[in-house]
Amino acid sequence: MACETPSTTKLILGLVLLISFLYLIINYYSAIKTSHLLAIFNLSATNSLLPCKDPDARENFKRAKTLLQGKHNTSLSEIDQIATMEIARYDCSYQDPAEPKIIIVVPYRHRELDLLSFILHMVPYFRHLVRQMEILVAEQNGTGPFNRAKLFNAAIREIKKAPKGDRLSGSKCFAFHDVDKLPINLDVPYSCATGPRQLLRILHSDDSITETYSSFLGGVTMFSMYQLERINGASNSFVGWGGEDDDLWRRTQMARMKVVKPDKNKGQFYEGNYQHSRAANPNRLALLKRENQESIMRNDGLRQVNYTLRSRVNYNTFVWLLLDV
């Protein structure tokens, strides 16, 4: 049996010391990284997550205002990062894969405060309900007149093209949701029914309470893919504020579909930023009075929408589409 030489022994000892040193370095930097992550989420190694609580619409809107105070031209990436850190502070239930998934389509342009408050509220809201949900923010590119209905139609077209495994796949039920409407109660029926569902019944602001009229179909609505295809989505002709909701209601009536409405207590929403500007559509009444409405429904809507997808980003808390419409 050969004997080890002094040089071999020194080499082995050197390797042992080097491995021990590297082990200490790795543990040291791992500890620093862990502390840094805990600091980001405002936690410490000795503190547990805050208990999950019922989402409060007014509180979440005020929290969003505080988080954006002093910030200007906040990017969507920053909004996502802020929302992610805020949501991570609470120990809320995760989504149940057995529950049907819904996609919430949010038309958007230059509404950073409303978008942050929406995400801060809606993500915990659905986790609290143990429901699968994806927020799809459809942003209109450019400075032209805002076209809410075109954004909805374009978003649905993109959803239909999504391959299996995509975040936009796996759902046949959609909420068309204004970014500034936050559900107050936990029993708002975010699900599809035998007919289109009008969720928004009563709107609360800080100084008023408004009840929607009987033929109103807007603000927050639910449609299945089958229902959308029957009415050919929404009309692409309405720009600005007003008219498209009434036209959408009329389409459901022409398609002989009954609009389903929850009890008023289950259809209450809060609007924090109720003073934002709304550019009214001066042609809305003329558009509503057009003749041959059934022909218009067949030839102006989901199947005919003309748009270009400029960009898509899968953020942590929402999917973003930038659209030319």
Question: What percent of the chain lies above the pLDDT cut of 90?
Answer: 67
Residue 158: closest CA among 138, 178, 144 = 138
Residue 117: closest CA among 170, 55, 180 = 180
- pLDDT for residue 144 is more than 70: yes
In one letter, which amino acid is 131? R
Which pLDDT score is estimated for 47?
54
Domain presence at residue 299:
yes
Q: Which residue has the higher pLDDT, 29 or 211?
A: 211
pLDDT band with cut points at 50, 70 and 90 for residue 36: very low
- pLDDT for residue 205 is more than 70: yes
- pLDDT for residue 45 is more than 60: no
Domain presence at residue 29:
no
Which pLDDT score is estimated for 80?
98
Domain presence at residue 20:
no
Which pLDDT score is estimated for 5?
58
Q: What is the CATH number of the domain that holds 146?
A: 3.90.550.10
Please give the average per-residue pLDDT across 201-217, as a whole number: 95
**Torsion angle of C-alpha atoms 151, 153, 154, 157, degrees rounded to 10:** 160
143/288 Cα distance (integer angstroms):
25
pLDDT digits (tens, 9 = 90+) for 89-142: 888 766 677 778 999 999 999 999 999 999 999 999 998 888 899 999 999 999
pTM of the model: 0.83
Domain presence at residue 44:
no
Domain presence at residue 222:
yes
191/208 Cα distance (integer angstroms):
28
What's the mean pLDDT when you consider all of the chain?
Answer: 87
- pLDDT for residue 178 is more than 50: yes
Which pLDDT score is estimated for 10?
67
Q: Which domain holds residue 187?
A: 50-275+283-324
The total of structural domains in the chain comes to 1
Domain presence at residue 206:
yes
Which pLDDT score is estimated for 274?
76
Which pLDDT score is estimated for 43?
43
- pLDDT for residue 270 is more than 60: yes
Tell me if 223 sits within 8 A of 176, measured CB to CB: yes
Please give the average per-residue pLDDT across 268-297, as a whole number: 81
- pLDDT for residue 84 is more than 60: yes
- pLDDT for residue 31 is more than 60: no
Q: Which residues contact 26 (CB under 8 A, 6 or more apart)?
A: none
Domain presence at residue 36:
no
Domain presence at residue 9:
no
Calculate the alpha carbon distances from 125 to 135, 150, 182, 303, 311 in Å: 12, 27, 10, 33, 28
- pLDDT for residue 259 is more than 70: yes
Tell me if 201 sits within 8 A of 212, measured CB to CB: yes
For residue 107, the tally of other CB atoms under 10 A from its CB is 25
Please give the average per-residue pLDDT across 255-259, as a whole number: 98
